[in-house]
Amino acid sequence: MSTVDLTQETFQDAIDGDKPLIIDFWAPWCGPCRQFAPVFEAAAERHEDVTFAKINTEEEQELAAMLRIRSIPTIMIFREKVLLFSHSGALTDSQLDELIGQLREVDMEQVHAEIAQQQEQASQEGPDQA
């Protein structure tokens, strides 16, 4: 499967999708981004159970700012609407494959339970105790 280009309008639908989502934040002028692009494309072809997306930070500056992208390339991985991983800098083919393997092993039931527990604790503490 090839990569998809995301925009501010399509970003939330991609996060809400059924498949894990790996996003490459890049820019046309970025040398390391251009070097990483074939690695990302090859991984997209090998791992059809994962959605691979690209966000051009030049064209989507507001979205990049909202996600606090400070350097490129940056990789973000979402699964079941949860950001599981963020990394600045290019990855090698083997590093990306290893990361995808780890993504598949994450116990999302446990992740959602931990998030719910953190939210409950935060609501119990209230604004006066923060």
Q: So what's the pLDDT on residue 119? A: 87
Contact (CB, 8 A) for 54 and 43: no
- Residue from 22, 30, 77, 96 carrying the catalytic annotation: 30
Q: Would the pTM of this model clear 0.95, i.e. be above it?
A: no
Percent of the chain whose pLDDT exceeds 90: 75
Q: So what's the pLDDT on residue 125? A: 80
| Residue 89 pLDDT class (50, 70, 90 cuts) | very high
Domain span including residue 60: 4-124
Reported as half-sphere exposure (CB side, CA atoms, 13 A), residue 49 has a value of 6
Residue 127 in this model has a pLDDT that exceeds 70: no
Q: Is residue 9 part of a domain?
A: yes
**Is there a catalytic annotation at residue 90?**
no
Q: Is residue 130 part of a domain?
A: no
How many independent structural domains does the chain possess?
A: 1
Rounded to the nearest integer, the mean pLDDT of the chain is 91
Residue 129 in this model has a pLDDT that exceeds 70: no
**Is there a catalytic annotation at residue 73?**
no
Q: Is residue 120 part of a domain?
A: yes
- Residue from 21, 22, 33, 100 carrying the catalytic annotation: 33
Closest CA to 112 of 77, 86, 84: 84
Q: Is residue 129 part of a domain?
A: no
| Residue 121 pLDDT class (50, 70, 90 cuts) | confident
CATH number at residue 48: 3.40.30.10
Which helix (DSSP H) or strand (DSSP E) does residue 64 occupy? helix 61-66
Q: So what's the pLDDT on residue 76? A: 96
